[in-house]
Amino acid sequence: MIAFAMKLLARYMEETGMSLDQLVAAAALDAKLVKSIVSGNYTPSPSQRQRLAAAIGVSIDDIAWGHTVPVEHIRGNGPQSGRST
């Protein structure tokens, strides 16, 4: 049995030489959204995953989806307290 490691979408782009603009056009998604997904700041929906994987030419199971950028804590009390700091 061969072990298979999933790769990030950005890695597939590097390997295929696909630019962000080319991926946006091939996936027919908003450029800002695709940039956020590629940079690891946004986890795509199942339909967005399907479109991006098809644009790259791989299965959705071949791509490691999800946030790669750590979520930073935001200073403030938030909406639950009714006031901010």
Domain residue ranges in the chain: 9-62
pLDDT tens by residue, 39-66: 988 899 999 999 999 999 999 999 988 7
pLDDT value for 85: 52
Q: Out of 3.90.650.10, 2.30.42.10, 3.40.50.1260, 1.10.260.40, which CATH number does the structure's domain 9-62 have?
A: 1.10.260.40
**Is this model's pTM higher than 0.85 or not?**
no
Cα 78 to Cα 72: distance, rounded to the nearest angstrom = 14
Least confident of 20-34, 43-57, 67-81: 67-81
pLDDT, mean over the chain: 83
Closest to 5 (Cα-Cα) out of 42, 58, 56: 58
Which residues, 6+ apart, have CB-to-CB distance to 11 below 8 Å? none
